[in-house]
C-alpha cells in the first residue's frame, strides 16, 4: 500500500497544504494522513501513520521538511 503524509505548521498555509495533497495523490497514495500542526507540537497524524504502515508499504511525503525538523529527528522517526 502507498501511504501519504502532509503537514503544514499553521492553518494559514493553505496553498502549501493543498500542493502537498496534490503531489501525494499524484504519487498514487491509497491512504493519506494530514494535519496542520507545528513540527514541535505533538503530531498525532504522523504517529497514526507510523502505526498504520506495515512492512512492504511505501510512505510518501511531498517534502522531507514536512516530515522531520532535522536529520536526527528523521532518524528517530525511521526507528
Say if residues 1 and 49 touch (Cβ distance below 8 Å): no
Q: Which of 9, 38, 39, 70 is catalytic?
A: 9
Gap between the Cα atoms of 64 and 15, Å rounded? 17
Active-site residue, 9 included: yes
Q: Which residues are catalytic?
A: 9
Amino acid at each position: 500500500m502507498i501511504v501519504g503524509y502532509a503537514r503544514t505548521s499553521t492553518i494559514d498555509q493553505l496553498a502549501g497544504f493543498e500542493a502537498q495533497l496534490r503531489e501525494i495523490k499524484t504519487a498514487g497514495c491509497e491512504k493519506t494522513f494530514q494535519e496542520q500542526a507545528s513540527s514541535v507540537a505533538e503530531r498525532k497524524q504522523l504517529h497514526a501513520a507510523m502505526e498504520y504502515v506495515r512492512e512492504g508499504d511505501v510512505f510518501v511525503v511531498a517534502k522531507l521538511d514536512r516530515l522531520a525538523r532535522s536529520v536526527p529527528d528523521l532518524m528517530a522517526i525511521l526507528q
